[in-house]
Amino acid sequence: MELNTAIAELEARGQAAKAASRRLAYISTEVKNKALHNIAQDLLAQKDQIIAANQVDYRQAQAAGLTAAMLDRLMLNASRLEGIASDVLAVEALPDPVGEVFDMRTLPNGLVIGKKRVPLGVIGSIYEARPNVTIDISVLCLKSGNAVMLRGGSETINSNTALVKVIQEAIARAGMPQGAVQFVDSTARELVEHMLRMRTIDLIVPRGGAGLIKFVADNACMPVVTGGIGVCHTYVDKRADIAKSVAIVYNAKVQRPTVCNALDAILVHVDIAPTFLPAVAAELGKAGVELHCDRRALSILGPNPSLKLKPAVEEDWGKEFLALIAAVKVVDSIDEALAHIEKYGSGHSESIVTEDYTSGMRFLNEVDAACVYINASTRFTDGGQFGLGAEVGISTQKFHARGPMGLKEMTSYKWIIFGSGHVRPG
């Protein structure tokens, strides 16, 4: 397709999304829930076609040499589709935030004033290698009364085309306005650049690697919510429970290593390191985890032919591995652990394992991250796990949303004022 024609089509889709957003702003919860219910049913009813389209993408991605992490994110199977459909139903079951009236009060002059929750308008999303994002973002936008414009990566073009067809047909049967879900089916990079200048889009949420997120943040003319880069630490304090610590670290690293909330670095207090490190290394070794250790950690663990051990280098600190690799550092105090996280963390998810209340509260109060844990795995940083049904993304910003972005994060508010002939005195 000629570029000018593709840009004209993109603009037309933006206008259609904007028009749809005006109707979505006041459409009933019943219609929204029916649309989401249809999506969940149709995902399962058409799973064979969706998986077949995904297999085309997967084979092409393999041939192109995509990393194991990217391939894992790209892949859809029956089990994953069942999980996605279950997440859609979870969003359907959540309260509709639109129209909620809050902070109402009566002023001394008799005016009654407060706020009413409203949708943002049109949400644009540019993302890579994760076809489940197509569903997650669409259902959260629809339930929160927003239209959506989707631009997935070229590596998932067939998967996303199949999924968007399911969404559009399902919501049309429920009575949703035409144009509520738009999909950019061209893989031309120039369309991304144009999309970032479209005045019909109210907010852009990029999901992908650091390069994509930086490009969107640097070039977008509308507000951007960035995040998703997760350099996640777990600090094992001197008063940690060993068994609890091993289980938490193992889960955070091994349960799904290719995602942003997986553990990247283990910080361990010097007093507990001789006991904890051999125990956790033995468990991580069973899963084939490679440990990049500082000098003190290496002296405790090595040499050991049954473990994958490497001396840590500076580049290991602050690195998102997205693989069965973790950096390990022995620290002398919680102060050193906090300083390390401040220097190398990405503001995503950080955890402390401790039985000491004071240390736990210091960590909770002093770590500057979207999600801070005491005695729990960072793998819980997820919209579904937080009871949000799903997420549009995980924001590491502080405006306007932080952490997993669910329904309420897809809304704003307007002031509503009730008078009885009030005029402002001179």
Over the stretch 386-424, which tens digit does the pLDDT of each residue have?
A: 988 888 889 988 888 899 999 999 999 999 999 999 999
Where does 232-380 sit in CATH, by number? 3.40.309.10
What does the alpha-carbon distance between residue 340 and residue 97 come to, in Å, rounded to a whole number? 39
Supply the pLDDT for residue 426: 85
Q: Which residue has the higher pLDDT, 85 or 228?
A: 85
Q: Is the pLDDT of residue 1 over 70?
A: no
> Sorting pLDDT into bands at 50, 70 and 90, what band is 356?
very high
For position 223, what pLDDT does the model report?
93
User: What is the pLDDT of the chain when averaged over all its residues?
Assistant: 95
Spatial separation of the C-alpha atoms in residues 377 and 400, rounded to whole Å: 26
Q: CA-to-CA distance for 65 and 58, rounded, in angstroms?
A: 11
Residue 222 C-alpha from the chain's centroid:
20
Task: List, by residue range, all CATH 3.40.309.10 domains of the chain.
Answer: 232-380
Q: How far is CA 33 from the centre of its chain?
A: 23
Say if strands 290-293 and 147-151 run parallel, antiparallel, or are unpaired: unpaired
**Nearest-10 Cα torsion for 126, 35, 86, 81:** -60
pLDDT at 399: 83
Q: What is the pLDDT of residue 275?
A: 98
d(CA 263, CA 91): 27
Q: What percent of the chain has pLDDT over 70?
A: 100
CATH of 3-225+405-417, one of 3.10.20.30, 3.40.50.620, 3.40.605.10, 3.40.190.10: 3.40.605.10
pLDDT of residue 367: 98
- Rg of the Cα atoms in the chain: 24
Q: What is the pLDDT of residue 263?
A: 98
The owner of tokens 């600090």 is 235
pLDDT score for 73: 86
Q: Give 165's pLDDT tier (boundaries 50, 70, 90).
A: very high
Domain with CATH 3.40.605.10 in the chain: 3-225+405-417
Residue-wise pLDDT tens digits, 298-320: 999 989 999 999 999 999 999 99
pLDDT higher than 70, residue 7: yes
CA distance 382 to 404: 6
Three-state SS for 5-36 is HHHHHHHHHHHHHHHHHHHHCCCCHHHHHHHH
* Helices then strands, each counted (H, E), the chain: 14, 16
What DSSP line would sit under 338-372, residue for residue?
A: HHHHHHH--SSEEEEE-S-HHHHHHHHHH--SSEE
Q: What sign does the dihedral 41-137-75-190 (CA atoms) show?
A: positive
